[in-house]
Amino acid sequence: MEINVQKYLDAVTNTDYVISEHTVQPVAVEQEGVAAALAPLLADAQTNLGAGRIMRSVVTIASAEPTTVALEAGVVNLPMADAKKITNFLGNDEIVPVRLYLVVANKFLNASGLRIDEVATADEFLAHPDQYGQAIVDSVTEKLAHIATEAAKPQEEVKPKTAAQATTRRTTRTAKKSHHKEGVNQARHREEDHEEGDNQNHDPQA
C-alpha cells in the first residue's frame, strides 16, 4: 500500500480518513487484559488498511489520568496531529509506503507525555497481523506498567514564594541603595576636606 505524500497531507488536513474511538475502564483492562482492550484497534487496522483506507483508531483507558492508545496510518514517524511537519522529511510529490504507528499518550509516560513507534508497513502488518498484534500488545503492556509506576510516585509540588522571601529581596535592594548613598557622602566629605586644606595652604600675601 503506497500513497502520494500530498494526498496523505490533504486527507489528514481535511479529516478525510476513517476515525474510530473506543473507551475502556481500567478495571476491565485489569480483569480482561491488555489484549482484549486493544482488540478493537487491531480489528480496525486490519479492516481499513486492507481496504486501502487511511485510518486512526484510538482506545482511551478512562483512569483518573487517562491513557490514549492509538494506531495510525502514516508515512513518517510523526503522529497525525503533527502531519504539517511531514514536508520537513518528505517531498510533496513522493510516493511512499503507508506505515502503521503506535501512539501512546499519558503525562506519566515521559517528559513529552507521548511516544510514537513504527509497527510495520501496512503491507507487512496485513501479511502478519497476529505477529504484529502481539508486538503491539506487549509494547502497550510495558508502557502501562511504566505509567503506573510513575503515577504512584510522590509528585513534587511547586510551593509559592512566601512573603518573608519577597521581603528579604526588597531589603537587600534597599541595603545596596543605602550603601551607595553612604559612599557618595564619604566622597563629598573627602572633597570638602581637600578644599579646606587648599585654603589653609594658600598664602594671601603671595
Which tops the pLDDT comparison, 40 or 185?
A: 40
Nearest to 103 by CA among 66, 129, 78, 135: 78
Residue 115 has pLDDT above 60, yes or no: yes
- The burial of 144, by beta-carbon neighbours within 10 Å (0-12 exposed, 13-18 middle, 19 or more buried), is given as buried
Alpha carbon 51 to its chain's center = 33
Q: How confident is the model at residue 158 (pLDDT cuts 50, 70, 90)?
A: low
pTM assigned to the model: 0.75
Q: What is the pLDDT of residue 155?
A: 76
Distance CA 74, CA 91 (A): 15
Angle between the 34-50 and 129-152 helix axes, to the nearest 10 degrees? 140
Give the pLDDT confidence of 126-154 residue by residue, as tens digits.
999 999 999 999 999 999 999 999 999 88
Q: Which three cell numbers stand for residue 138?
A: 506487549
- For the chain, the residue count is 206
The per-residue pLDDT of the chain, averaged, comes to 85
Q: What is the pLDDT of residue 61?
A: 97
Residue 59 has pLDDT above 90, yes or no: yes
User: What's the mean pLDDT in 21-34?
Assistant: 96
Q: Which of 31-35, 50-54, 57-61, 189-193 has the lowest mean pLDDT?
A: 189-193
Residue 198 has pLDDT above 90, yes or no: no
SS3 (DSSP) at 102: strand
User: What's the mean pLDDT in 99-119?
Assistant: 97
SS3 (DSSP) at 2: strand
User: What's the mean pLDDT in 80-105?
Assistant: 96
